[in-house]
Structure 1
Amino acid sequence: MHNNLIYLTADRGKVDATQLSDIEWARLVVDNRDSTRRRLVKCAWCWDEDRVTHWMKTYSRRNGTRVIAHQAGEIADHPYQALESDEHKAYCDRVERVGVTEGFQARREARADDGRTRSDVLLIGARHVSYEMQHSPFKQGYGARERTRRSLAAKRDAVAWHTDSSIIANGAKVAMLRSNQARLPQIENPRYQLRILGGYREVLVWDCTAREGHRCLKGRYSGCGATHVDTQPSAITLDDFIRQAPAGLVLPVRPLDRLGFWTTTHDHQIWVDHFGEASPPGGSGVGPQRQSERQSDGHSRRTAAKDHAPVAPQQRTDRPQAVTRIPDELIHLQRSAVEERAQLADLDGEAYDAQWKAWRTAAEDFHAAVTDYAAQGDVSMSRYEVEQAVKNAVRHPDQETKALLLRA
């Protein structure tokens, strides 16, 4: 159902029409037959956003579907939107408070130019991060993947989905943060730590030998000799995540994948260097395997010989074919940010805090310059591709050219 959030007159307040009983809905349809004269049902979206009153038509289709529609000639219908609970509002209040305290802009219920893309809280720093708190199951036809795709198309750098329900997190088809369940007083308490239990991971890199202590992703007990990249759960609080995401210090990996996750910029770069921009199947470097393949004990001579044979690291073949030059200013700004971060190593106390602010300022300057450059009309690359290519150029200055290389 579209336009599901409505205000009912006679002091009944804001309700979700999908939650009305069949008897209540049937009575409302009869009472609201002449909608513009009776003035019983008002569009909550139009009123909350623009303080404009639109009296809605209410009726049922033959298949029993409930319909709430604008009058002819008024604005287009709105997508389904869950009624905000007290806990949902408290989470958004907390995110807004933490973001503003950290120096970011925070906009509640921010809508993009298309009028259909809405963020619970839009955090604006070096990056535009749309925070979405999900307390109820996703509705069919307007799920997390579609909403994330629309938000990214609306020039928002990332969408941070968050829930405190394991059922919702497991059923989501996007990268989603899951925290411990908390009651309303705990959410409202700024000293209570809301810990992220899922969706935030650390990237691991190891040479696959028997001495490393990691299980070979290809199922060889003695190791395959290749370099493996995998992930493991890591810890962060919701407040720290909000402090870092708009500054570009944490980034999403595979945001439109249910196995996607968030990680630090350092670990994100390791992942991109190993797998490229495309995501590996199954969440690892080798893809899903049958159980018998993963637990093969290699007792035969052929398998034993294969297990002990060294395997050369795979060469990446996804190098760009065509190149274009990017202003050296971007490389200079990223190099400055890297140098500022390196100075944090031996500091503590007030000196560390001062240097951390200097690093954050340098990082924000770099991200702002990347955003401005990617928005130019003659640049065919996305902002993400520009950012990653600049970082690769700074990390590997002795490659084919010291300037930035990008696909045309």
Structure 2
Amino acid sequence: MDDDPSPHVDGVTTLVAAHLPVRTKPTADESDKHKALKERIARAAHRQGLSAQIEARSTDGKVRNDVLVSGSAGRIGWEARYLPITASTVRQRSAAAADRGIMPLWVTNDHRAALIDRAPWVRVDDMPWRAIASERTMLVRGGVRHLQDWACMPAAQRPCPLNGSSCGDLHVAWTLPALCLPPKAHTQVDALVAASAEGDYVPMKIPGQHNPRASTRLWAPTADRDRWRNIIGEDEPLPDAEPPAQAGLTFTEEDLDSTCRYGEDTRVFDDRRPRRDHADASGLHTFPEVPQRIFRIPQQPQRLNVNPEQRAKAAQLHGCPIWHVGPCAGCGTPIHRYGPGSAHACATCRKRAR
């Protein structure tokens, strides 16, 4: 046998088998977490008067859910996942559940999990199984977002997501609860069990405005879903399914270490998977002006019937340039209608529309 460990022999590259440590073998702790989360989901459903079946199988036996929760909005198939799973497996199992009228909901504690944005999902904290099984509050840390829309003006509390300075456009994005203005409370897992089955929270797939293939999956309050559709104008077509990632071969130009280390615990493991659960706003859409359809006070054909003296007096009253004065969309009263800090309608009409 040649003592040279190099894989190159007489110009021929030889692939050498190696025993790699098994890093996805479930431990007793992971198995206990899995059981505890299933029991917690079922318990939360029963408390709200919903039907919940653990290890529920479809009538044809081809689909099995960790917990199947049934409510007025349909059936939610909860999948507690504490071990790695491939993206293709997530897609296949989710598609099989959807074909049978079950909305999948994957739960992970890993912000690098391949299931993120490949199917409806949420991320929770990595808690011991006893804490999961207890009455301790368990929060959703990722996968639930709220709709935020704001006019990008100098007085806006948010920086422009495009260039950092005010651009005057309307921005719409999905944001984590803690990053909303004002901040919103995190959703509890127990509350989501009932809210998803009753239709108070709905799954969404948000394509990017300029790259529809870069889509984000999230759970959102139904009211936010409705407002999103109103702003966008119509449901956007969903992008095609992502092609499976092609693994590439790399050559480090290092000598091959032919020593068999099977069974050794080196305690060295660099997780090179990219982070998939980000805190940044998702599904950013920008509009050059506010769509008329989202105004609570419908756009009315108004004309500003004032003389130059009255127009100048209105500008002085509202503290704006005279050319920014225009008619209220509701009653036609001269107001600060155009430019930074302007309003669509007067205070009286806005109050009436609340």
Q: Which has the higher helix share?
A: 1
Listed as ranges, the gaps of 5+ residues in structure 2 are: 1-16, 18-25, 178-185, 208-213, 240-281, 294-354
Q: Which residue of structure 2 aligns with residue 277 of structure 1?
A: 235
Question: 1:98 and 2:44 equivalent?
Answer: yes
- Could you say which residue in structure 1 is the equivalent of 2:219? 262
Cα deviation code 1:240-262 (max 9, x no counterpart): 11121111111111189862111
Which region of structure 1 is more displaced relative to structure 2, 207-216 or 195-204?
Answer: 207-216
Match of 1:129 in 2: 76
Q: Deviations over 1:359-396 (max 9, x none)?
A: xxxxxxxxxxxxxxxxxxxxxxxxxxxxxxxxxxxxxx
Q: State the secondary structure of the residue aligned to 2:156.
A: coil
Structure 2 residue corresponding to 1:115, chosen from 61, 66, 74: 61
Match of 2:155 in 1: 211
Q: Distance in 1 between matches of 2:176 and 2:285?
A: 17
The question of whether the paired residues in 2 share the 8 Å contact of 1:178 and 1:199 is answered with yes
Q: CA deviation at 1:101?
A: 1.3
The answer on whether the counterparts of 2:104 and 2:119 sit within 8 Å (CA) in structure 1 is: no
| Other structure's SS at 2:83 match | coil
Aligned partner of 2:167 in structure 1 is: 223
Question: Residues 87 and 115 of structure 2 are in contact (CA less than 8 Å); yes or no, is this contact kept in structure 1?
Answer: no
Alignment check: 8 A CA contact 2:121 2:218 kept = yes
Which sits farther off after the overlay, 266-275 or 118-127?
Answer: 266-275
Question: What secondary structure is seen at the aligned counterpart in 2 of 1:167?
Answer: coil
Residue from 176, 188, 197 that aligns with 1:233: 176
Shift in Å at residue 172 of structure 1?
5.6
Aligned counterpart in structure 2 of residue 252 of structure 1, from 195, 203, 206: 203
After superposition, the Cα gap between the structure-2 partners of 1:137 and 1:252, relative to the gap in structure 1 and judged at 3 Å, is: same
Counterpart position of 2:85: 138
The residue number in structure 2 matching 1:201 is 145
- Matched residue of 1:96: which SS? helix
- Higher normalized contact order (CA 8 Å, seq sep 6+, divided by chain length): 2
TM-score, normalised to structure 2's length? 0.53
CA distance in 1 between counterparts of 2:54 and 2:192 reads: 18
What SS does the aligned partner of 1:124 have? strand
5 Å-filtered alignment, 1:9-408, equals: 85-127=31-73, 128-139=75-86, 141-142=88-89, 144-156=90-102, 158-168=103-113, 173-190=118-135, 192-219=136-163, 221-225=165-169, 227-234=170-177, 235-254=186-205, 259-275=216-232, 276-278=234-236, 283-286=283-286, 311-313=288-290
Distance 1:285-1:255 versus aligned 2 partners, 3 A rule: closer
**Alpha-carbon distance in 1 for matches of 2:189, 2:48:** 14
Residues 137, 217 of structure 1: CA spacing in aligned structure 2 closer, same or farther, 3 A cutoff?
same
Equivalenced residues, count: 210
Q: Distance in 2 between matches of 1:255 and 1:164?
A: 22
User: Contact 2:199–2:222 (CA<8 Å) still a contact in 1?
Assistant: yes
Aligned to 1:168, what secondary structure does the other structure show?
A: coil
Q: Which runs of 5+ in 1 are unaligned?
A: 1-62, 64-81, 287-309, 317-408
Report the CA distance shift for 1:231/1:96 in structure 2 as closer, same or farther (over 3 A). same
Q: Deviations over 1:110-168 (max 9, x none)?
A: 222443222111101112111111111114642x2222222112112x22211122232
On the 8 A contact 1:135/1:163 being kept in 2, the answer is: yes
Whether contact under 8 Å (1:254, 1:279) holds in the other structure is no
Structure 1-normalised TM-score? 0.46
